[in-house]
Amino acid sequence: MKKDQEHSSQAGLEHEAIALPLASTADRSLLIVDDDKPFLTRLARSMETRGFTVTAVQTVAEGLAEIGRAAPAFAVVDMRLSDGNGLDVIGELKAKRPDARGIVLTGYGNIVTAVTAVKLGAFDYLAKPADADEIYNALMATGHDKAEVPENPMSADRVRWEHIQRIYELCGRNVSETARRLNMHRRTLQRILAKRAPR
C-alpha cells in the first residue's frame, strides 16, 4: 500500500453496459483518492485484504500523478477533494486506460449526477458513507448489476457550479484567490458567481 484512502457513491451507465474486459482477474491494481485520511487508510487496508494492490493518495494532483506513472485497473475517487474535483481523476484514468473501473464517491447524493460521472468515465458512483463491501461489489459488478441513473440528476453545469462555490467558500469568498485556484480568469469567475445556480 502506498498511502491511504476512502469514499463512495453509486450510479449507473446511461448507455448500454459495455462489457469491457474486466481489468480484474490478472491486474488488481487499485488507486484510492480521498482527503479523509482515516477513511482512506481503513479502505486501503480493507481492499488489500480483498486482493488488491493499493495506492492511496489524498489529492487530485497526486491521483493524476499516479495515473501518469501507471494507470491502475481500478480506482475509487472522492468527488470533492481539497484541490479540486475527483471527476478529473476519473477522466484521466479513462483516457489512459479505457478498460479501467472507476467508482466515484460523493457525500452530496443528488448533487453529483450519475450521467455526468458516467460520461466522464465512471463505472458507478456510491453515496457516502459507503463501506468496503459496497465499494468492492461496485468495482467487481458486471454491467447488469449497475444501478439505474437517477430520474432527476443534476446537470453538468450544476455540478461545476457547486464545485466553484465550494472553492469560493474555502478561499474565504476571495474572488482573486478562487480564480487562481480554479485556473480561471477573474472576470469569468465573477460572471459565474453573479448568476443563479443552474438547474
State in Å, rounded, how far the first CA of the chain is from the last one: 41
Rounded to whole angstroms, the Cα distance separating 117 from 100 reads 14
To 5 degrees, how large is the angle CA 90–CA 92–CA 93?
65
Q: How confident is the model at residue 76 (pLDDT cuts 50, 70, 90)?
A: very high
Mean pLDDT of the chain: 76
pLDDT of residue 23: 43
Number of Cβ within a 10 Å radius of residue 55: 24
pLDDT of residue 66: 96
pLDDT tens digits for range 88-107: 898 899 899 988 988 888 76
HSE value, Cβ hemisphere, 13 Å, CA-based, for 8: 18
pTM for this model (two decimals): 0.59
Pick the closest to residue 63 from 51, 77, 52 (CA basis).
77
Chain centroid to CA 30: 13
Where in the chain are the domains?
29-145, 156-194
**Which of the two residues, 86 and 19, has the higher pLDDT score?**
86
pLDDT tens digits for range 122-158: 677 777 778 888 889 888 876 544 445 555 555 667 7
Contact criterion met (CB below 8 Å) for 116 and 153: yes
Q: How confident is the model at residue 120 (pLDDT cuts 50, 70, 90)?
A: low
Give me the sign of the Cα torsion angle 86, 88, 93, 99. positive
What percent of the chain is modeled with pLDDT above 70? Answer: 70
pLDDT tens digits for range 149-184: 555 555 667 777 777 887 887 788 898 988 888 888
Strand partners, 106: 127
Please provide the size of the chain in residues.
199
> What is the CATH code of the structural domain delimited by 156-194?
1.10.10
Give me the sign of the Cα torsion angle 111, 114, 117, 119. negative
HSE value, Cβ hemisphere, 13 Å, CA-based, for 136: 15
> What is the CATH code of the structural domain delimited by 29-145?
3.40.50.2300
